A = this chain, B = another copy of it.
Amino acid sequence: MGTTQLETVPEPKYWHLKTVLSEALDSEFAVGQILPNERDLAARYGVARATLRQALEQLEFEGRLQRRRGVGTTVAPPRVGVDIAPVQGSWPGAPGDAWQVEDCTETSPPAAVARLLDLVDGETVHVVRRARTSHGQPLAAELLYVPLDGPRSGADDGAARGQAVLRALHRDPLDGQDRSVELGSAGAEDARQLDRLPGAPVLVVTTRYLSGGRVAAVAVSTYRADTCRLTFGETGGMELLAS
């Protein structure tokens, strides 16, 4: 048969390994179960530890595995569906919203946010830090940027001041909001809040709140990409239950 495509697909080792491990996860392991350690696994499959880690990293990105320094690698439960559909026409902090205010500072925002808010040079805004959790596990961290003159820097503690900022927002009518989702990596602060290492992959949701023809606030929410699936309960009423 001569040369029928002789191995034009030299599949990388880590890629093949990922497939093998993935199947092993389906058939031989239960959710929460702990895998052999990386050195043993590497030896078992006859690869260097770095190569094994490349495969594990992929599986972690896909939400199949969870790795914890000092503990081990475990089989991850299915991703949590997190609804990020906007409560119709409501400001952040409205009754029923899933976020908890952590604290509040006043600084000049990063350039990307300043652009969205149409600010000049070093203008400062209120920054409300909020957290979203599910069953005790941190899902997301948020920074809410609000260019308000309202709550003057009374040096009361962060959380209370944050709530004051939100209340001030609620006084204006909310004309609309729009949203975008992109991939990012967790900064030092967010990583701590999400109980991950810096650089961990996150889904960054940017929300613009519009009022009176202006962008009245911008929320940057970072969701753990390994454990979260963002859902939009959009249309048409009927909620078929997801199995």
Give A contacts to B, CB under 8 Å.
12, 15, 18, 58, 61-63, 79, 81, 86, 88-89, 115-116, 174-185, 198-199, 201, 203, 208, 210, 213, 215, 225-226, 228-238, 240, 242-243
Contacts and interface: CB of A to CB of B under 8 A. Distances in A.
A179 B232 contact: yes
| Copies of this chain present | 2
A227 to B, nearest CB: 10
B225 A177 contact: no
A60 to B, nearest CB: 10
Contacts of A201: 61, 183, 201
Contact of A176 (B175, B203, B236): B236
A225 to B, nearest CB: 4
Contact of A229 (B115, B182, B210, B233): B182
B58 A199 contact: yes
B176 A235 contact: yes
B199 A15 contact: yes
A181 B230 contact: yes
Contact of A238 (B15, B175, B182): B175
B180 A238 contact: no
A175 to B, nearest CB: 5
23 contacts: A62-B185, A63-B182, A81-B180, A176-B235, A176-B237, A176-B238, A177-B236, A178-B231, A178-B233, A178-B235, A179-B234, A180-B232, A181-B181, A181-B203, A181-B229, A182-B228, A183-B203, A183-B225, A208-B240, A210-B236, A210-B240, A213-B238, A215-B240
Contacts of A115: 243
- Most chain B CB inside 10 Å of its own CB: which residue of A116, A230, A233: A230
Nearest to A201: B183
Contact of A175 (B12, B229, B236): B236
A171 B134 CA distance: 41
